Structure 1
């Protein structure tokens, strides 16, 4: 799924000054190869350099308005052993690649940091790259995805139309050109500006959509590509998308219950975990469950699922989830009160521009909700149904299709068997779509992210990136023991659809 967090400009803040989008007849850095690097404005985290890359708002009209992409890099720590530059494709949509390079470069293995300059960017519509900006008051009015009738369905459609108009007015021309096909062209301009004849790329979660479509568009410009926690953009229907997402999340819940049954240090050990959980869902539904992060405030059942359980599944933090559930179960009930639906982040239009998830009417929507509940009975109103509701009526510039990257070199596809957001079947599907060039590397553990989950995974990925040594087909790495679940899922990004995180 996707991660959308507070990386866009604060809701209600106006878009960047129009000068950043002024028409420019000058050649883009993709032609000149010029990036002006300077130390990033992050005194507490020195060593990173920042630059901007000017690209067309609409690549179909390269002479039209432009926007500046924020870019960051950290040079290889072993200059004598440097292989080249690796570009990281951030997740989300909504994750900041600049923030990753500046503040969380430990997300990459020591060998990758030693052998490569690591470069990333804020994709268009995110962070400092012409962020999507919307009215905070309007975002707060988002209807609940728990629609009850056709009138609720129609009201949601009307709200979505009103919100899109507001966001478009505040964001500027870029709002209508946020899809991944446009970002693919941005990525190729960045490759050229970096002076790289071929691209070495690591995409994570939503960033795998960018990588896969780059390989499809420019197959002979790829040197090496890692797709980690993989999104399958060939999932054609709304029902298939929702069912696969629900199945991945429910698998993690089952794994959590199984772990707790066998772990003496689980805070719910020897209890009926599902019964305790269902009790919390019922209390949340009545507005009686206190939000652990906001004392005195009621936590909705949707936020209990998505902001408590799902986030822990990302980190494979089963011990932490069990402790949180036990504390909430022991907490004093609040007086029954209505709960609100948290506003989705303003970067949601990026997702809507890539995923065509049509729903004809309330009857079909109710059927889709039923499908999700049957598939994930422990996790009602997962984030994907929120996204489906948020995208009702939105145009889709880059709809789903089967991948065709004929002519690309071997591409490494990495996924955990028990990934709560980008389920393992998606990785299998993408590897197959890549044909002979798709090489699936399986992590037998849990969590969202896998490339640094133990020496087996790390060595296989490092060897591929540095020496182009492709692991044998069928390579599988064991889960790495760790307290709280049985392995370590070294994923340092925010929740990702790959998952869409609710604003706090």
Structure 2
């Protein structure tokens, strides 16, 4: 599959050019009525005819607005109460690399009040899903080195691999590969706003989608009615903050798992020294003797074991993870194995393209990298690192181009912002939400879910009610508000 690139013809200034200039932020007043907005071609989505699917062409490089174009795909779930409709709620589930179209298609994600009052619009970001997806040789992708680089030779091979992968993906994907940064996504988002005919939008961003929301608020503050950031990225941290704060978040999630196992009689390791069992498993993994309990006789390495834990903490899946550890420690016959825990895919094809354009993550060669891993192991003695953060850092080694959207503090918000985070989120550290809320200033309010898992809206009715109330009424929770933790239940229960 080849990306479709269209070149616009150069014509005298027209209404369409004025419209594009407005999307670029060149015009500070609403576009005159004679300016026809860019067209979205709508038709019923094949997955759900109640949802409209559409496409919009945008410049691949927003600094060359009349240059080559790519096609964005979006979905709109119309408000069910036309008379009470507030406007458009744009949504993004993060990744980077997760489909926002699929999020709009999910009729169960948002509460009834939000579905009644908003058209819910999900745009697959450029390079993702249905929007000029970044394409790479799957065999090359599958050959990705273990991110826990142990030697200088491993470090050099990883840098060489990244260069080969980037060249392959750029060749297969076309110019979108070099323009997958989140600032470009933000400009796409505003072009969609304009095409929808909305003066202002509301936005719900989860995980990496929170960075889209922050950068949109920075660039177009007067075009936002409401902003929810759930599972927050802090785009101001340097490489040490990025690695350290995420590693500490994974360790905190592990400690919570251990504490839960000590109080829940359904934990398969109840009454046992979970940290000692983990240490034995890590030693076996390092020695190459740890058999994968769900895929024998395959062996698990240290990276595999840590990533299994990280994935289990997303929901969290404590019951199945406890069985997983027990059966790895004391293998059982195949017929008695428990259901395997879901593994989180953290590396879609677009992941390194986006991360390496949005983040500057230098480690100072192999010596600096090795020293950082050693320091992280003291901060996170069981889990050692964050698989997500280490994948990002090692995936950018050797890249020939500097990031176009490197870290910087986000300016204070001009309107109310609701910041949400789980206290024990393994992927986006709780401290990131605290730091971002401070950067956004007095207009921002942090709502803490005192529980576990990544993205709190789907884990807590208390959180979802507060978010829905804010989106519909612009009512923020009280300062210091929190929502109680909800104990996980076994798979298939509750």
For the aligned pair, the TM-score class normalised by the smaller chain equals 0.7 to 0.9
- Of 45-54 and 436-445, deviating more is 45-54
**1:76-101, CA deviations, whole angstroms, 9 ceiling, x for partnerless residues?**
23333322211002210010011222
Matched residue of 1:397: which SS? coil
For the residue of structure 1 that corresponds to 2:71, the secondary structure is strand
In the TM superposition, 1:126-275 aligns within 5 A as 126-235=128-237, 237-275=238-276
Kept in 1, the 8 Å contact 2:250–2:385? The answer is no
Alignment size in residue pairs: 459
1:64-463 aligned within 5 A: 64-102=67-105, 104-235=106-237, 237-292=238-293, 294-306=295-307, 308-331=308-331, 344-347=347-350, 348-383=352-387, 384-394=389-399, 395-406=402-413, 408-463=414-469
**Distance (Å, rounded) in 2 between the aligned partners of 1:241 and 1:268:** 32
1:56, CA displacement in angstroms?
0.6
What's the TM-score, normalizing by structure 1?
A: 0.86
> What is the alpha-carbon distance in structure 2 between the residues aligned to residue 290 and residue 80 of structure 1?
60
SS of the equivalent of 2:41 reads coil
The alpha carbon displacement at 1:452 in A equals: 4.4
Distance 1:212 1:440 in 2: 14
CA contact (8 A) 1:141 1:343 kept: no
CA distance in 1, matches of 2:464, 2:348: 33
Distance (Å, rounded) in 2 between the aligned partners of 1:455 and 1:21: 46
Q: Classify 1:356/1:92 alpha carbon distance in 2 versus 1 (closer, same or farther; 3 Å).
A: same
Q: Which residue of 2 aligns with 1:478?
A: 484
Separation of aligned partners in 2, 1:454 and 1:157:
41
Q: Distance in 2 between matches of 1:299 and 1:214?
A: 42
- Would the alpha carbon gap of residues 115 and 344 (structure 1) be closer, same or farther in structure 2, given more than 3 Å must change? closer
SS at match of 2:313: helix
Q: Which runs of 5+ in 1 are unaligned?
A: 1-13, 335-341, 489-504
Alpha-carbon spacing, 1:24–1:118, altered in 2? closer, same or farther (3 Å) = farther
Deviations 1:348-387 (A, max 9, x none): 2111111100122111010111122122221145322222
Cα deviations across residues 2-57 of structure 1 (Å, max 9, x unaligned)? Answer: xxxxxxxxxxxx432x4x34445565786615322111122xx4422100111110
Query: 2: CA distance between counterparts of 1:157 and 1:141?
Result: 13
Structure 2 residue matching 1:223: 3-state secondary structure: strand
Conservation of the 8 A alpha-carbon contact between 1:302 and 1:381: no
Q: Which has the larger radius of gyration?
A: 2
Give the corresponding residue for 2:43: 38
Q: 1:147 to 1:221 in 2, by over 3 A?
A: same
1:284–1:343 CA distance, 2 compared to 1 (3 A):
farther
Counterpart CA distance in 2 for 1:444 and 1:344 is 28
Asked whether the 8 Å contact 2:232–2:428 carries over to 1, the reply is: yes
Contact 2:217/2:224 (CA < 8 Å) preserved in 1? yes
- Give unmatched runs, 5+ long, in structure 2: 11-15, 24-35, 335-344
1:466 paired with 2:472, answer yes
Task: Indicate which of 48, 51, 59 corresponds to 1:48.
Answer: 51
2:217 and 2:437 map into 1 onto residues whose CA distance is: 13
Kindly indicate whether the alpha-carbon contact (under 8 Å) linking 2:95 and 2:346 is maintained by their aligned counterparts in 1.
Answer: no
Report if aligned partners of 1:290, 1:328 keep a CA contact under 8 Å in 2.
yes
Deviations, residues 191-215 of structure 1 (Å, cap 9, x unaligned): 1111111110000000000000100
Of 267-276 and 21-30, the range deviating more from structure 2? 21-30
Higher RCO (C-alpha 8 Å, min separation 6)? 1
The answer on whether the counterparts of 1:443 and 1:477 sit within 8 Å (CA) in structure 2 is yes
Larger displacement relative to structure 2 (283-292 or 50-59): 283-292
Pairwise CA RMSD: 2.4
Aligned residue number for residue 493 of structure 1 = none
Give the Cα separation in 2 of the matches to 1:318 and 1:78: 40
Q: Which TM-score applies when normalising by structure 2?
A: 0.87
Per the alignment, do residues 280 and 470 of structure 1 end up closer, same or farther by CA in structure 2, a change over 3 Å counting? same
